[in-house]
Amino acid sequence: MALDEIKIGGMGASRRRVEDNRFIRGKGNYVDDIVLPGMLHMEILRSNVAHARIKSIDTSAAWEIPGVRLVLTGEMMAARNLAWMPTLSYDTQAVLATDKVRFQGQEVAAVIADDPYIAKDACSKIVVEYEQLPAVVNPFEAQDPSAPLIRDDKENQPTNKIFDWEIGDKERTDQAFAEADVVSKIDLHYPRSHPSPLEPCGSIADYDRATGKLTVFMTSQAPHIVRAAVAMVAELPEHQIRIVSPDLGGGFGNKVPIYPGYVISILASILTERPVKWIEDKTGNLISTGFGRDVYLRGELALRKDGRILGMRMHTVSDHGAFFADAQPTKFKIGLMHSTFACYEVPAAHLTSEGYYTTKAPGGVAYRCSFRVTEAMFFQERMMHAAANDLGMDQAEFRRLNLVKDDMFPYRTAFGFLTDSGQYGKCLDIGLEAIGYSTFKQEQEEARKRGKLLGIGISTMTEPLGAGNSREYDIIGIKMFDSAELRVHMTGKAILRTGAKTQGQGHETTWAQIVAHELGIPAEDIVVEEGDTDTAPFGMGTYASRSTPVAGAAVAMVARKIRAKARKIAAHLLEVSEEDIEWELGRFYVRGNQERGVTIQDCALAAYSNVPDGLEPGLENNAYYDPPNLTWPFAAYICKVEVDAETGVWDVLKFVAVDDCGVRINPMIVEGQIMGGLTEAYAMANMQYITFDEEGNCIGSNYMDYLLPTAWETPGFELHEVVTPCPHHPIGAKGVGECATVGGPAAFVNAVMNAIEHTGVRNVDMPMMPNRVYEALQTGEDVSGMPPMKVE
């Protein structure tokens, strides 16, 4: 009898997360939980000014504090050729500043001491003399000919511009605009935000001079990339480097890059011959590590009177901070921004991008999104909203008219992506029905008569996940495939390792479900391990919603290799030829005689005790999976709000999410991902940003200024589901981790705009704080969020 897949915790089972057994008991094992014998503690001294020449650093008083073992400065790093390190975008970043500091919070010196209190005390004794230089806090200031040159350390860098980049067909797009009946424009700022995982970054470097082995426990979403980078930069032999990423307290893209703290702790361990632990504090995490967004998005749509889109132009101006340290595929300077409008029929499109240095923290990481996809989709849905209004068309009708239809797949987008499946119109309709769209306009008018401002906002989008196929996607030259290794023990239990790295996604639960689905081994009999480069197969890690599309596919593929070998063993045990063997979940049987069969567990035992002649013993294998294409989940998010006209405060009355992420492995985890993503979307739309005053002081450097929403103010979300399996993924999954963060913000913003745009206002930049909404209502004019922030 075939097994009941749900009962064994296979595909579709809302199995409880096995990792939670330790997390809810406080038994997780995070970097800061690890204590090594003789371990020292490191604290970093950060710059308190944004832009300044370092005249001198006096560390003598710090050395005098009992318990201080080492004080490191940029000069000492430079003596070992480690003052600068390469970034993931082919730039360089200061490890410890030597010539200048270029952002507030930059690493200037480090103290290594017997305990973290002493290290902190000693840091406060270091005297740094700065000669202050003007700060540059947005990319428009950076372009000013009178702006100071931020990267005077680089050759061939005469200005603050990092890159110009473009994609698409300019000529055809110009033609489309020439033929347009209506041209609609929008001008937006997607403010700087921060992934702010609960656990900040940290590392324990342990260099053993006797064996020559360097072990680094660290907070990394991509430990194998770190090993490769350390091997190349520090010129240590790769087999002598072990990177271990233990339990992670969230990542959201923040833990992809390599940070100065990691590098300093490694050198400190080499110099002191002791393990050295560095744990960043929350402020350090917010002001110095990978931020997200900070892009100015401008564009226009060429439209026909009947509502069809003829062409799209987009221009982005991005602020990368002091070092170009974006984590993104090499080919694409502004990530996958050109995935914008992928769900709509757009005959011609052209995107131009400029990137600039400013005196702000470096980063530009994909904060819970697949490389700038969040900005791309926010632009798209704000642009669609403005265009529908300019045409005088209904928001839903305008979208439905232009969405790619179900029978048009595979569909080549104007920028060359290939979307492969979806039921866009169906998702939109389910959402409209759930929010009560058909009666909303009447409701809105009646409410307005009573002095109440109601609004509805729609955001529909498909986004590219699962980078990626190795033809187009690499990071620092390493192709973006992924891997899995499966060992089935003789009692039918198994261990699975992958090149991904869970950080809250629940891989330990869902990977076992894929194996259960492929082999019929109950999920509870499978342990999943990730993050140790000495044991896990090579992989590119977890970000950009790539785990399920890439590593998850590798899990299915390796399980299928195991099943193929088990089939040979089954044929041997059943004394029939392999061709006469049939498979049902958990069991092989003889064709025509379903009673006569062996279980996968029988085969596992035989693999170690009764192997047919000519077959290798054992039941283990690995798989490297190079996806043929990206995956394209779709979502329709619809939000209904009420705005308080007297204060500008807005409340969400209802939020409906319709997600089509293909086949769902664990529906409960999928729903958790969507709710978490919508919460982050709500935060960005409502309250959350990092900004700067004109001196380059970071406003948003702590959790009193950089707000994370709590359960108190987060609205409820109503979730709906549509399933269109991915045609090229082994189990039909598309990935879901980031859909809601990507598509969510525009739904909130469009809803608030819908409530207030009768005053003539076209845009209020995020976060739509009460004071901004109130200002827009009073003036009928757009409200920009561009720094510098005015502070009296």
Count of positions (residues) in the chain? 792
Distances from the Cα of 452 to the Cα of 639, 644, 647, angstroms: 17, 7, 12
Query: Which residues of the shown chain bind another protein in the complex (CB under 8 A)?
Result: 43, 116-117, 119-121, 124, 281-282, 646-647, 649, 686-687, 691, 699-700, 704-705, 707-710, 712-713, 769-771, 774-775, 789-792
Q: What is the smallest separation between the CB atom of 673 and another protein, expressed in angstroms?
A: 23
**Catalytic option among 46, 69, 368, 664:** 368
603 tagged catalytic:
no
Q: Which two tokens stand for residue 701?
A: 């450097």
Burial status of residue 591 (CB atoms within 10 A of its CB: 0-12, 13-18, 19 or more): exposed
What distance in Å separates the CA atoms of residue 39 and residue 371, rounded to the nearest whole number? 37
What is the C-alpha to C-alpha distance for residues 84 and 327, in angstroms, rounded to an integer?
17
Which residue number, 43 or 508, has a Cβ lying nearer to another protein? 43
- Summary count for the chain: helices (H), strands (E): 19, 34
> Could you say which of 199, 300, 738, 757 is catalytic?
738
DSSP 547: I
Nearer to another protein, 472 or 644 (CB): 644
Interacting residues of 215 by C-beta distance below 8 A, sequence separation 6+: 205, 206, 207, 208, 242, 244
233 HSE (CA, 13 A, CB side): 26
Specify the residue, 78 or 649, whose C-beta has the smaller distance to another protein: 649
| Residue nearer to another protein on the CB measure, 283 or 330 | 283
Contact assessment for residue 503 and residue 220, using Cβ atoms and an 8 Å cutoff: no
Shortest Å, Cβ 487 to another protein: 42
Cβ neighbours of residue 20 closer than 8 Å, sequence gap 6 or more:
none
Identify the active-site residue in 369, 639, 698, 739: 369
Cα separation, 788 vs 16, in Å, equals: 47
14 or 771, CB closer to another protein?
771
The answer to whether 661 is a known catalytic residue is no
Is the CB of residue 230 less than 8 Å from the CB of residue 214? yes
Q: How far, in whole angstroms, is CA 248 from its chain's centroid?
A: 14
Q: Is the dihedral of CA 674, 676, 680, 682 positive or negative?
A: positive
Least gap, CB of 676 to another protein (angstroms): 17
Using a 10 angstrom Cβ sphere, with 0-12 exposed, 13-18 middle and 19 or more buried, the burial of residue 458 is buried
- Give me the least distance between CB of 675 and another protein, in Å please: 18
Closest approach, Cβ 116 to another protein, in A, equals 5
Q: Active-site residue 80, yes or no?
A: no
Q: Which is nearer to another protein, 436 or 709 (CB)?
A: 709
Classify residue 472 by its DSSP letter: T
- Closer to another protein by CB, 90 or 117: give it: 117
Q: How far is the CB of 688 from another protein (least distance, A)?
A: 9
Q: Which is nearer to another protein, 210 or 704 (CB)?
A: 704
| Residue 388: CB minimum distance to another protein, A | 30
Q: Which is nearer to another protein, 61 or 708 (CB)?
A: 708
Catalytic annotation present for 508: no
Contact between 546 and 467 under an 8 Å Cβ cutoff? The reply is: yes
Beta strands at 241-244 and 213-218: parallel, antiparallel or unpaired = parallel
Kindly state the smallest distance separating residue 715's Cβ from another protein, in Å.
13
Q: 56 pairs with which residues across the strands?
A: 129
Residue whose C-alpha is closest to residue 736's, from 688, 790, 782, 668: 668
* Vertex 371: Cα angle to 369 and 375 (nearest 5): 70
Kindly state the helix (H) or strand (E) to which residue 123 belongs, with its residue range.
helix 116-123
Q: Which of 93, 104, 106, 221 is catalytic?
A: 221
Q: Are 41 and 269 in contact (CB under 8 A)?
A: no
Quote the least distance from Cβ 712 to another protein, whole Å: 4
By annotation, the residues acting in catalysis are 221, 368-369, 738
